[in-house]
Amino acid sequence: MASATPTRIIAVANHKGGCGKTTTVVNLAAEFGRMNLSVLVVDLDPQSNASLHIGKKHPSEVTVTCAELLLSETEKLPLAIHEETHIPGVSLMYGSLNLGKSEDDLKDGTPRPSEELRDKLSPLMGVYDVILIDCPPSLKLLTSNALAAATHLIIPIESGSQYGMYGVTDLMKHVSKIRRINPGLQLLGALLIKHDERQTVCKLIEGTAQEQIGKLLPVRIPTSTKVNQAAMAQTSLHGMDRTAKVTREFKQLAALLAAELKLNGKESNDE
Ligand SMILES: Nc1ncnc2c1ncn2[C@@H]1O[C@H](COP(=O)(O)OP(=O)(O)O)[C@@H](O)[C@H]1O
Ligand SMILES: [Mg+2]
């Protein structure tokens, strides 16, 4: 299916674990899918939480995951794309525990080890409206590959934790370095997760994120038990509870990003 708009590749990155990367990827993908956009999720995390959440197969049963694709020729690309997932309109490139080994092999066996994913995804330009890349909790080669392939970047920050900003300056330095090989990479902003404006810690994190990252997305994701429930039920927040505040915030975020990125989706009317 050829798309009228150029493909936007959004990396969701922060090497801090548990800050909401996977939740953001899955629920943005679901909302973009609901807007009739064609969406691909690329799971670059060895822990493969996005694959376990939306995939119909167990990552260990998948022959060509991101791990194999990164080390292979582009011919394997069609085998790496799985159109059947638990989320309508969303395709998946599975993650795998083998990604750790692929990262080591890339370092030793490739001339431009940070640019393999960009090369592997290049035939998909114009095929999907949006590609969302879920990054691992590290700033090593897998994250570099995601940032080198991406057109845009979202940095989730756990607002409800006093350690939410820990390491962000390292991340920003890493992003600057990657811009040497991907000068067009645009920061969409930091996304505050588990945010509660009544809490002092959240206000502090909000101020520091604005200062150190420079750009905050105008949506705040609240804490909600629905997030874990949706993951356990292998559905999106919309599938779990379409009227919950957390669902509405992700929906608003997708609409804002679609407007900013000029994605020509049509709002589905299944409410
Ligand atoms: N808004 C939220 N409210 C409550 N729990 C959340 C929220 N966002 C994420 N979580 C939970 O926090 C944990 C970490 O989130 P996750 O998206 O997996 O982070 P990461 O991918 O950065 O490691 C998961 O158990 C997830 O279900
Ligand atoms: Mg994750």
Instruction: Please give the number of the atom of ligand 1 that sits closest to the Cα of 246.
Output: 1
How confident is the model over 152-196, as pLDDT tens digits? 999 999 998 888 898 999 999 999 999 999 999 999 999 999 999
Q: What is the CATH T-level fold of the domain 8-260, as seen in this structure?
A: Rossmann fold (3.40.50)
Which residues of the chain fall short of a pLDDT of 50? 1-2, 269
Domain boundaries defined on the chain: 8-260
- Residue with the smallest CA separation from ligand 1 atom 12 is 18
Beta strands at 186-193 and 130-134: parallel, antiparallel or unpaired: unpaired
Q: Using CA atoms, how far apart are residues 14 and 9, in angstroms rounded to an integer?
A: 16
41, 227, 240, best to mutate for ligand 1 pocket (most atoms within 8 Å of CB):
227
Instruction: Please give the number of the atom of ligand 1 that sits closest to the Cα of 221.
Output: 1
Tell me, in angstroms, the distance from the centre of ligand 2 to residue 159's CA: 16
* Spatial CB neighbours of 88, under 8 Å, sequence gap ≥ 6: 33, 34
Q: Which of 31, 8, 20, 9 is nearest to 87 (CA)?
A: 31
Q: Using CA atoms, how far apart are residues 247 and 240, in angstroms rounded to an integer?
A: 9
In the chain, DSSP assigns E strands to 8-12, 39-43, 90-93, 130-134, 152-158, 186-193, 216-221
Tell me, in angstroms, the distance from the centre of ligand 2 to residue 15's CA: 10
Q: Using CA atoms, how far apart are residues 259 and 263, in angstroms rounded to an integer?
A: 6
Asked if 19 contacts 158 with a C-beta cutoff of 8 angstroms, the reply is: yes
- Residue with the smallest CA separation from ligand 1 atom 1 is 223
How confident is the model over 105-140, as pLDDT tens digits? 998 888 899 999 999 999 999 999 999 999 999 999
Count of CB atoms within 10 A of residue 252's CB?
13
What does the pLDDT read at residue 162?
A: 86
What does the pLDDT read at residue 5?
A: 73
pTM: 0.96
Ligand 1 pocket list (CB less than 6 A)? 17-23, 49, 137, 193-194, 221, 223-224, 227-228, 231, 246
